[in-house]
Amino acid sequence: MESVRVAYGKALAEYGAVNENVVVLDADVSASTQSGFFAKAFPHRFFNVGIAEAGMVDVGVGLALGGKIPFINTFAFLLAFRAAEQIRTCAAYSKVPIKLAAHYAGLSDSFDGPTHQSISDVATMRGLPDMAVVVVADMNLAGAQKAAVDLQSVFVKNLAFAVGVNVADDFEVLAG
């Protein structure tokens, strides 16, 4: 059984192959977020900004203003809290379309302790204007970011581990 994050990484690389405007940013955790699939396929469109989540969101906003479709990857709790001000002010209030890929969602990072668990992130992100929230249920929905591209901004939560298939392969994701 494939993990949700591996399915996400593969889907992201596949999407990058059909849309040259897709760029990917990662906070030095691409082995965990699986954005490394994209980095290997498109190294010129992959940006490892290091452990600088707030700055990564600002870079993503700049790329979006330049016509790119940025997928910003790190752990869910870091996006929702460490980069919250940039997400709110630079993306949501300014209506700049960014795609936030929040990994190790909920309690799926239980082995790293309570500081890495992300429970209230949905409430934080859902309270922002024009911010959609997508919680991926299984690896069949890991391609949900494709459906979410047309949204203004989206916060996609990906689990860390493999889960059983919860929906059919042909389930259509309707974002909005």
pLDDT at position 7 = 82
69-75 β-sheet, strand order: 46-48, 22-26, 69-75, 99-103, 153-158, 131-135
Report how far Cα 26 is from the mean position of its chain's Cα atoms: 10
Q: What is the largest CA-CA distance in the chain?
A: 40
Helix (H, G, I), strand (E, B) or coil at 22: strand
For the chain, domains (ranges, CATH) are 4-158 (3.40.50.970)
pLDDT-derived band at 48, boundaries 50, 70, 90 = very high
Rounded average pLDDT over 68-92 = 93
DSSP states along 34-102: -THHHHHH-GGGEEE--S-HHHHHHHHHHHHHTT-EEEEEEEHHIIIIITHHHIIIIIITTT---EEEE
Q: What is the pLDDT of residues 118-170, one digit of tens each?
A: 677 888 888 899 888 877 766 665 555 555 666 667 777 665 555 555 556 66
pLDDT-derived band at 6, boundaries 50, 70, 90 = confident
pLDDT at position 117 = 64
Long-range contacts: 169-174, Cβ < 8 Å, 24+? Answer: 169/140, 171/140, 171/141, 173/141, 173/143, 173/144, 173/146, 173/147, 173/148, 174/147
Helix (H) or strand (E) holding 156: strand 153-158
